[in-house]
A = this chain, B = another copy of it.
């Protein structure tokens, strides 16, 4: 019965593309699951590491007097000591996380690719691996954010999928890498709209048959340009049940949904709201005012999704961890919030705070605000989004924080 779903000849090989704080954390939890479900997954999880030299300090348990303070390769330290001493120190990794300095070797023959690296590197990585991956591979993007220009909104997962000719979903939630690495319980949301060609029939055939139409609807419900190669029948399926097995841990509860647009946009637009909340608190208002701003921000987020992606958006998505929970955490402890609060407390502009506190580094919330507002203005609908508009006004110095409550009047 080779080729039937009961006894696939292959297991899924999993690669994590990226090895920062969050990438290494995801590699850890995924590797725990490939070991627990070794009928479905190859145990070893490849983790692509951008190679660099590290020095082990003498007070580290990994210090070796024979090596001393000589620089060592990060990949070899990870593979020897099972710890990413640079980006996730003091967390023991399972020995089946295999650090690989070669991007092409790391993704070779992998049927599940997990993308987890900074936004700005994704274009180059896709360019490099294009044509060097399994055509039937499937992706999950752990990268939050979307790319918004005057012309369009592009989800990271869509960008990856279209660049590589594969289908790619998204993982997002109220997640703090170090907490998860320390196995402090939280939840996440995985959005994955299993392509029709991967939906297996009762007799173990793919949904639209071997000769079927392998076009599929993209995240917006449009027919995608990408012609998909189905996941072969001699592999286990890649669907909600399998992805749940790959990501869910006792300390990391996964909720599966199909609404990739809603999950991705909630993860991006919350940055605008986090700026607004920081302004509100820095001005001297309390939690009750902050919840008012958060909820208005969420209503504008839902409206944005409904206005521009009416075919696929599901309102219940916003009650997921990627929606409400991530909004609350981002507006309570994250970077955009912290620096906008500081700006309002000091009565200076956010640009001033970028200069004095961030060495000129840019806050993501500001660029998200600018991009989203340019998209809305190009369509002449910016007035339907008074909170987003006010955040841009505060950043530009044309609107005052004290006037935020006025936006809420009927």
A contact residues vs B (CB 8 Å cutoff): 174-176, 179, 184-187, 244, 248, 250-251, 253, 284-289, 291-292, 294-295, 298-299, 302, 315, 319-321, 324-326, 328-329, 332-333, 405-406, 408-410
Contact = CB atoms under 8 A, between A and B. Distances in A.
Give the oligomeric copy count.
Answer: 2
A369 to B, nearest CB: 22
A175 B320 CA distance: 25
A325 B302 CA distance: 16
Nearest to A298: B319
Contacts of A329: 287-288, 291
Contacts of A184: 284-286, 288-289
Q: Which of A187, A320, A406 has the most CB of B within 10 A?
A: A187
Contacts of A248: 409-410
22 contacts: A174-B288, A174-B292, A175-B288, A176-B288, A184-B288, A184-B289, A187-B295, A244-B410, A250-B405, A250-B406, A251-B405, A253-B405, A253-B408, A253-B409, A291-B325, A291-B326, A294-B324, A294-B328, A295-B324, A295-B325, A298-B319, A298-B324
Contacts of A406: 250
A355 to B, nearest CB: 30
A286 B328 CA distance: 13
A187 B291 CA distance: 9
B324 A291 contact: yes
Given A405-B253, A408-B253, A185 B319 contact: no
B325 A286 contact: no
B292 A319 contact: no
Nearest to A185: B405
A340 to B, nearest CB: 17
A408 B186 CA distance: 10
Contact of A174 (B187, B291, B408, B410): B291
Contacts of A326: 291
Nearest to A180: B288
A289 B405 contact: no
Contact of A186 (B244, B292, B294, B410): B292
